[in-house]
Structure 1
Amino acid sequence: MQAPRGTNDILPDEIKTWRQLEHKAVEICHRFGYEEIRTPIFEHTELFLRGVGDVTDIVSKEMYTFKDRSERSLTLRPEGTAPVARAYMESNLKGIPQPVKLFYIGPMFRYDRPGAGRYRQFYQFGVEVFGTNAPAIDAEVIVLALDFFRSLGLSDFALHLNSVGCPDCRQEYRSALQNELKDIVSTLCSDCSERFDKNPMRILDCKIDKCKEATKNLPSILDYLCSDCSAHFEQVKLLLNKLGEEYVINPRLVRGLDYYTKTAFEIISTVGDTEQAIGGGGRYDNLVSTIGGPDTPGIGFAVGIERVLLAIKESDAYPIKGPTLDVFVAKAGNVPDYEVMPIIMDLRNAGFSVDMDYMGKSLKAQFKTANKKDARYVVVLGEEEMQSKEVTLRNMTTGSQETVGLKQLAERLETT
């Protein structure tokens, strides 16, 4: 038996790295005043049809949708923003002091073509803010994302920034795009041809070379922003400038979801031969109302954890190591487990991570096991040690060793 295509097992050695990365995310979110939320793995399909948009690639091609035994259509969540918006509305979080600042870490599911850092079950860290349209919160969300990457030792990345306007100014831009595209739409890929009528802005997001070349001279949405959207974008840029953050204005950045308004951004990894987005987001002022709630501005981002880990490995930026084992207890001779286990449990109850041999290995082999487990210390317990109530304590880093009384063992370990 094998895992389904596009999924993978995260093994114990890798989990150490994941835990460190998740710890950094939680630590930074708490520093910025964000609280954790956890939403269901699956939602009613209608949430994504209405919230994400039925002409997006996610909804039209990539969702895992099924019917339960009551014939209700359910979908494994392909992204985190719509579920958090639903929770905000359903739990009446509008009734608490605004803005509501939330973060999440968890698995998402898309029937996508598997590749480097891209899976059908993948994990995202994301933040969402509801209740304010202040440009300052846009800047804060962007800086939070950048600080997260910097905390991991990453430096080879670039912030791409754009405004996708609001429904009012986008309507004029949509017409301008269709007018420019009408003579060349037949030369574009099938997806772009379909987008021409439904959402021509998505053509700017096409990754196929022939489409990018054919559309390189299309007008910029920044020339069509209404006064409100333009003023908002100028404020976001001003705040980022004041905070010392560098960015690239990218008029082709429209993101892949229909709910975005005004600010849109991506963080692009420049490690290796190809550039790849390792995170991105933007403002979605109409999302809550689209799924049936009150008018509520919002903004957020999501980071693909697998892509971040890949960038870390490629840049050799952050020597992520999980916690090491404090003590490995090596048995010498025929010391029975019922004599050893109480000593181990006393050390565990004192707060140390402790393991022992369960395979009947020789003392030499047990030391090799301790090395593989990256144990800081080895405690040797033999018949003589049990009689004398003293053990041999070896420092696995320096190779030095000493004799310590059993009653003083925990205290001695605390001082090292």
Structure 2
Amino acid sequence: MTQAFQKVAAIRGMNDVLPGVGARWEQFEEIVREWLHAYGYRNLRTPVLEHTRLFARGIGEVTDIVEKEMYTFTDALNGESLTMRPEMTAGIVRASIEHNLLYDRPQRVYSLGPVFRHERPQRGRYRQFHQIDVEALGFAGPDVDAELIIMLARLWKRLGLTDVRLELNSLGQAEERAAHRAALIEHLEKHRDVLDEDGQRRMYSNPLRVLDTKNPAMQAMADSAPKLFDFLGAESRAHFDGVCALLDDAGISYRLNPRLVRGLDYYNLTVFEWVTDRLGSQGTVCGGGRYDGLIELLGGKPAPAVGFAIGMERLLDLWDQTAPAATVPECEIYVVHQGDAAQRLAARVGETLRDAGLSVIVHAGSASFKSQFKRADASGARVAVILGADEVAAQAASIKYLRADGAQGDAQQQVPLAELAQVLKSKG
């Protein structure tokens, strides 16, 4: 006797997007693509799998992502260590180097898709989640930093979000960070007794990240730590001042946050986050900044770059709170039919209406008109096209409006098949 197959569920933290919610995602993605196109950004797609060394080198070996969160395995074919991408920037930079994208001009690119991190799932933080990743490669000035932030403000406005706040900081350049790092380590050594296990571990390897702690017992120590901003030279300050001046010109409000460091090693100069209080502990909706050294670090010719990433699940959650999703119809037209000849005609009518640009479901199989109309109504279609023996004989179709906004006051009417598409489009 065959043993019953044990039902399989999705892996915890890797979620299905069902058709009703999928329509909301499609609506959201259409808005995002139109928004990015308005600023001249073009789509670039990279593989989900990359060599592990790309992320260890690009993100930083002592970051949480590399140390704890990557899905890494050994390829059985050749023994190489491969990783499912935990973020997109490193892969985009790898692609730009490999394909020499910066040979003749800077590039504005974006990518949408899944990323993977092995962590405890919670609201807005999943093992497979999706990002909108936007990168401006080859641009050095504060004008592009500001443009990225301003374009994000435009997206929030388009989505009707009013309680997303901008936090801003500068991480300066390598030599400025080195001087600050020495002072910071000295400060941490003096307060070793209040450092938690994570702070003790990072005190020498990545001391800047110690300041990003959420541990209440460490807040006073972090608040009194030397500020990186105080170590910035004239050029770094001028860059930051240039960003702020352009944001002021655009009427964008922001808060200077000297403890904002971001979680990845490759940032320099401008860093920013857009945050909200409406998503619980996972309040960061978007984060980004400048990473002028990453292209050279990954083997390319030195070139500046700046970008950001948005967690799509978090932003959709926020958008749904602001503007709850309306039900998206499965189709515009639902074709019901009775009898073999009508069923064959229905298939041809469906294709003709699709040729005219209408979305159509032709009822599959045979059923009573009552049952078919029930299904037509559930589909959200605005019109039912009815085909029976009389319609087949007359080479016509009867149409019935199912929604008050389809054609108010219109009773069921018969239309010649040759005129059907034109009539349905004129009353759309």
* Whole-angstrom distance in 2 between the partners of 1:358 and 1:318: 32
User: C-alpha offsets along residues 370-411 of structure 1, whole Å, 9 cap, x if unaligned?
Assistant: 222111111111111211222221222226332211111001
* Whole-angstrom distance in 1 between the partners of 2:99 and 2:73: 26
* Whole-angstrom distance in 2 between the partners of 1:236 and 1:63: 34
**Alignment partner of 1:93 is 2:131:** no
Name the aligned partner's letter for residue 304 of structure 1.
Answer: G
Name the aligned partner's letter for residue 80 of structure 1.
Answer: M
**Alignment partner of 1:408 is 2:408:** no
* Whole-angstrom distance in 2 between the partners of 1:149 and 1:324: 28
Name the aligned partner's letter for residue 366 of structure 2.
Answer: G
SS in 2 for 1:197: coil
Equivalent residue, structure 2, for 1:397: 403
**Alignment partner of 1:57 is 2:57:** no
State which drifts further: 345-354 or 241-250: 345-354
SS in 2 for 1:182: helix
User: C-alpha offsets along residues 45-70 of structure 1, whole Å, 9 cap, x if unaligned?
Assistant: 11111110000000011011111110
**Alignment partner of 1:348 is 2:359:** no
Equivalent residue, structure 1, for 2:371: 365
* Whole-angstrom distance in 2 between the partners of 1:8 and 1:25: 22
* Whole-angstrom distance in 2 between the partners of 1:50 and 1:355: 51
User: C-alpha offsets along residues 10-66 of structure 1, whole Å, 9 cap, x if unaligned?
Assistant: 111111111111111111111101111001111111111111000000001101111
* Whole-angstrom distance in 1 between the partners of 2:104 and 2:399: 56
Which residues in structure 2 correspond to 1:289-368 (within 5 Å)?
289-314=296-321, 316-317=322-323, 319=325, 322=328, 324-332=330-338, 336-368=342-374
Contact 1:174/1:200 (CA < 8 Å) preserved in 2? yes
Q: Displacement, 1:161?
A: 0.6
**Alignment partner of 1:260 is 2:267:** yes
**Alignment partner of 1:286 is 2:293:** yes
**Alignment partner of 1:191 is 2:209:** no
User: C-alpha offsets along residues 121-140 of structure 1, whole Å, 9 cap, x if unaligned?
Assistant: 11100111111211000001
Query: Structure 2 residue aligned with 1:203, among 187, 198, 210?
Result: 210
Sequence identity percentage: 40
Equivalent residue, structure 2, for 1:82: 90
Q: How many residues align?
A: 414
* Whole-angstrom distance in 2 between the partners of 1:214 and 1:396: 66
Contact 1:43/1:83 (CA < 8 Å) preserved in 2? yes
Contact 1:20/1:320 (CA < 8 Å) preserved in 2? no
Contact 1:165/1:225 (CA < 8 Å) preserved in 2? yes
User: C-alpha offsets along residues 155-182 of structure 1, whole Å, 9 cap, x if unaligned?
Assistant: 2110111111111111111122112221
Contact 1:105/1:124 (CA < 8 Å) preserved in 2? yes
Which residues in structure 2 correspond to 1:63-74 (within 5 Å)?
63-68=70-75, 69-74=77-82
State which drifts further: 85-94 or 217-226: 217-226
* Whole-angstrom distance in 1 between the partners of 2:13 and 2:219: 28
Name the aligned partner's letter for residue 228 of structure 2.
Answer: I
Query: Structure 2 residue aligned with 1:277, among 255, 263, 284?
Result: 284
* Whole-angstrom distance in 2 between the partners of 1:415 and 1:288: 54
* Whole-angstrom distance in 2 between the partners of 1:176 and 1:62: 30
User: C-alpha offsets along residues 293-349 of structure 1, whole Å, 9 cap, x if unaligned?
Assistant: 1111100000000011111122x3364664651100112466552232111111112
Which residues in structure 2 correspond to 1:378-389 (within 5 Å)?
378-389=384-395
Contact 1:100/1:129 (CA < 8 Å) preserved in 2? yes
Query: Structure 2 residue aligned with 1:157, among 139, 164, 174?
Result: 164
SS in 2 for 1:137: helix
* Whole-angstrom distance in 2 between the partners of 1:300 and 1:35: 14
Name the aligned partner's letter for residue 158 of structure 2.
Answer: S
Query: Structure 1 residue aligned with 2:122, among 115, 126, 146?
Result: 115
* Whole-angstrom distance in 2 between the partners of 1:173 and 1:412: 72
* Whole-angstrom distance in 2 between the partners of 1:51 and 1:38: 18
State which drifts further: 177-186 or 193-202: 177-186
SS in 2 for 1:215: helix
Q: Displacement, 1:214?
A: 3.8
List runs of 5+ in structure 2 lacking aligned partners: 1-7
The 3 A distance-change label for structure 1 pair 320 and 62 is farther
Q: Displacement, 1:288?
A: 0.5
SS in 2 for 1:177: helix
Contact 2:329/2:381 (CA < 8 Å) preserved in 1? no
The 3 A distance-change label for structure 1 pair 386 and 284 is same
State which drifts further: 261-270 or 339-348: 339-348
* Whole-angstrom distance in 1 between the partners of 2:326 and 2:37: 21
SS in 1 for 2:190: coil
State which drifts further: 8-17 or 282-291: 8-17
User: C-alpha offsets along residues 66-125 of structure 1, whole Å, 9 cap, x if unaligned?
Assistant: 11110111111110101111111111112122x211111011111011011211111100
Q: Displacement, 1:218?
A: 1.9
SS in 1 for 2:364: coil
SS in 2 for 1:256: coil
* Whole-angstrom distance in 2 between the partners of 1:172 and 1:317: 47
Equivalent residue, structure 2, for 1:174: 181
State which drifts further: 81-90 or 370-379: 370-379
